[in-house]
Amino acid sequence: MTDMALETALATWDGELMVSHYDHPTGAWMLIAVHSTRLGPAVGGTRMKAYASLAAAVHDAQQLAAGMTYKLALSGLPYGGGKAVLALPPTFDPAQRALLLRRFGHLIAQLGGLYRTGPDVGTSPADMDLIAEIGAPYVFSRTVGAGGAGDSAPPTAVGVFAGIQATCAALGLPLAGTRVLVQGAGSVGSRLLALLQVAGAQTLVSETDPAALQRLRLDASVTVIEPAAAYATDCDIFAPCALGGVLSAETIPQLRCRAVVGSANNQLAQPADAERLRARNILYAPDYVISLGGALAIIGQETLGWSREEAERRVASAITQTLTEVYASARDTGATTTAAAQALTERRLADGPPSL
Ligand code: PHE
């Protein structure tokens, strides 16, 4: 994106506030997108990676923050949606990481609770501990040792698994024997594969990082698919669990699955891709529905006193119920599942903060 696109991104976004801070010692940009505080303070993870441009980083933060607004609204929690991006320079020195995270904690503290963070792609509970040194109490998902609920990947995977079960039910497929292709064997994808195997599903995986694949091969019997072949591989359910934008005018015609159900944020490259999926009769679990488990479980454990078991139960039932409702309403109205989920989300936002 060019500089002009940066201006366009800022001017056309429907969110409330975009905070930017340039970290002079490292050359990293700290970006915080506060999309909506309609239901409460904005919550969303911190993504840390290098981007092609500042405009691309701003746009990613904006889109991810909107997704968090929808996740929190559907979770029934009194929080809004936001997201942070730490956009690293191409030459980032890893020795600077802890200092950068502490300075980011300072920025969070300055916002006084308007935005509360958690982990996301590129950050971990150990990173949350560093951010919380200055940013507490506005930091979710610290390590258990530091008093937090720890990693959000396990409950996220539990939620995706529940969503796959609900999708199988909607398609009239028994989960045992169903072929699920998991794209990305990272923190969520690898756990999802384990849950699917226990349930007797046939698992396939594609992963671009040989080290992640190696870790998986040690303890799992899955069919490995070349990343380039993932879209065109015959399966029942395609589960994108890596980065966003994977469902596009280019990939959707290649798909040979009956449903797409995965944890990656912002899976549709364009809004029109929802219609492309429907036209191909592929059932799509809207990404912010299927992936709300991490935030719901961690916030429930840290603010409502839920045990880990209770959090997982609530994640499974919230996603099963919401997805079943979305599928039914899409079927009855002829709308895409994306439009059906959007309508449900807008009703929750219009209702205002839930009373817990
Ligand atoms: N990365 C999580 C998501 O995208 C955000 C999150 C995790 C927020 C844990 C709070 C606690 O949904």
The pLDDT tens digits of the residues spanning 300-350 come to 999 999 999 999 999 999 999 999 999 999 999 999 999 999 999 999 999
Q: Is 295 in the pocket of ligand 1 (CB under 6 A)?
A: yes
Residue nearest to atom 5 of ligand 1 (CA): 45
pLDDT for res 219:
60
Q: Is 44 in the pocket of ligand 1 (CB under 6 A)?
A: yes
pLDDT for res 1:
46
Q: How many CB atoms lie within 10 A of CB 317?
A: 11
Q: Residue 282: beta bridge partners? A: none
Q: Is 125 in the pocket of ligand 1 (CB under 6 A)?
A: no
User: From ligand 1's centre to the CA of 27, what distance in Å?
Assistant: 26
Ligand 1 closest atom vs CA 265: 4
- Full pLDDT tens readout for the chain, 356 residues: 456 699 999 999 999 999 999 999 999 999 999 999 999 999 999 999 999 999 999 999 999 999 999 999 999 999 999 999 999 999 999 999 999 999 999 999 999 999 999 999 999 999 999 999 999 999 999 999 999 999 999 999 999 999 999 999 999 999 999 999 999 999 999 999 999 999 999 999 999 999 998 888 656 678 999 999 999 999 999 999 998 899 999 999 999 999 999 999 999 999 999 999 999 999 999 999 999 999 999 999 999 999 999 999 999 999 999 999 999 999 999 999 999 999 999 999 999 998 87
Ligand 1 pocket test, pick from 48, 49, 120 with the greatest ligand atom count within 8 Å of Cβ, gives 120
Phi, psi of 322 (to 5 degrees): -65, -45
Whether residue 131 contacts residue 101, with contact meaning beta carbons closer than 8 Å, is answered with yes
User: From ligand 1's centre to the CA of 295, what distance in Å?
Assistant: 4
Distance CA 55, CA 11 (A): 12
**Rounded to 10 degrees, what is the CA torsion of 66, 72, 75, 77?**
-160
User: 156 to each of 131, 165, 287, how far by Cα in Å?
Assistant: 22, 14, 12
71 catalytic? Reply is no
200: left (phi over 0), alpha (psi -120 to 50) or beta: left
User: From ligand 1's centre to the CA of 5, what distance in Å?
Assistant: 27
Distance CA 193, CA 183 (A): 10
SS (H, E, C) the chain: CCHHHHHHHHHHCCCCEEEEEEECCCCEEEEEEEEECCCCCEEEEEEEEECCCHHHHHHHHHHHHHHHHHHHHHHCCCCEEEEEEEEECCCCCHHHHHHHHHHHHHHHHHCCCCEEEEECCCCCHHHHHHHHHHHCCCECCCCCCCCCCCCCHHHHHHHHHHHHHHHHHHHCCCCCCCEEEEECCCHHHHHHHHHHHHCCCEEEEECCCHHHHHHHHHHCCCEECCHHHCCCCECCEEEECCCCCCECCCCHHHCECCEECCCCCCCECCCCHHHHHHHCCCEECCHHHHCCHHHHHHHHHHHCCCCHHHHHHHHHHHHHHHHHHHHHHHHHHCCCHHHHHHHHHHHHHHHCCCCC
Least Cα distance to 341 among 125, 163, 168 occurs for 163
> What does the pLDDT look like over 143-172, one tens digit per residue?
999 999 999 999 999 999 999 999 999 999
Tokens coding 313: 């139960």
Q: What sign does the CA torsion over 277, 283, 43, 139 have?
A: negative
What's the pTM? 0.95
Residue of 47, 83, 179, 278 marked catalytic: 83
Tokens coding 130: 């560093």
Q: Is 150 in the pocket of ligand 1 (CB under 6 A)?
A: no
Distance CA 44, CA 32 (A): 10
Distance CA 157, CA 261 (A): 11
